[in-house]
A and B are shown apart, each in its own frame.
Chain A
């Protein structure tokens, strides 16, 4: 049986905590609180929202981020919709995780962490807004993202 939940907050950094709490409250029972799975979902959402806040709504009075959480047997889906600038997921550089400290560039981890934390990421840009859809398999027998 599927469940869905929604939370909408203003796109500024103070809202990051609200999104984390929301996920803990709605997924904590299913995934367990303080587990890797919950952390993965919180991390992916946190990184995506941070991108929306710092780039999507840069230079304007920010609008909303709408988070839709869907829980279905074996699968968790989070959609994040915003109405700011869109971005190109494939053009973001992949950080060099083997480089020593002196060669590290400061940025670039957000999208990388998202991809490492969830099983699928889709990004849709329409005239009705930008939506990132994150999917995490939560059936332990599927293996999912280790």
Chain B
């Protein structure tokens, strides 16, 4: 799993690639936690280039959503892979956080 972090004005984009499973999810947890504790509480996690994600990844995302909101911000997801979308839907993640089909749309959502 690889992450690339960029700043888009007051929003931090964490673009994830390859796979988020039980082996690699802790790295993503650490990365997101670091951003949030560093004051970057508005985040877009871009999963559009992730090939595979399991419930381990879901746990990471749920934890990071909670943490970002506790710190006064929010975490939104960009996701295009139908398999990952199914994981998000099955778990009711859509009831918890906002998911968009592209990074651009996720970013725009922060200004409305």
Contact = CB atoms under 8 A, between A and B. Distances in A.
A touches B (Cβ under 8 A): yes
Interface of A: 13-14, 16-17, 20, 36, 39-40, 42-43, 46-47, 50, 53-54, 95-102, 104, 106-107, 109-110, 112-113, 116
B97 interface: yes
A106 B63 contact: yes
A42 B21 CA distance: 11
A110 B63 CA distance: 16
Contacts of A42: 52
A68 B86 CA distance: 25
B29 to A, nearest CB: 11
Contacts of A102: 66
* 3 pairs of A and B residues whose beta carbons are closest in the complex: A97-B92, A39-B83, A109-B55
A100 B82 contact: no
Interface of B: 19, 21-23, 52, 54-56, 58-59, 62-63, 65-66, 69, 82-83, 86-87, 90-92, 95-97
A99 B94 CA distance: 10
A109 B69 contact: no
Contacts of B19: 17, 20
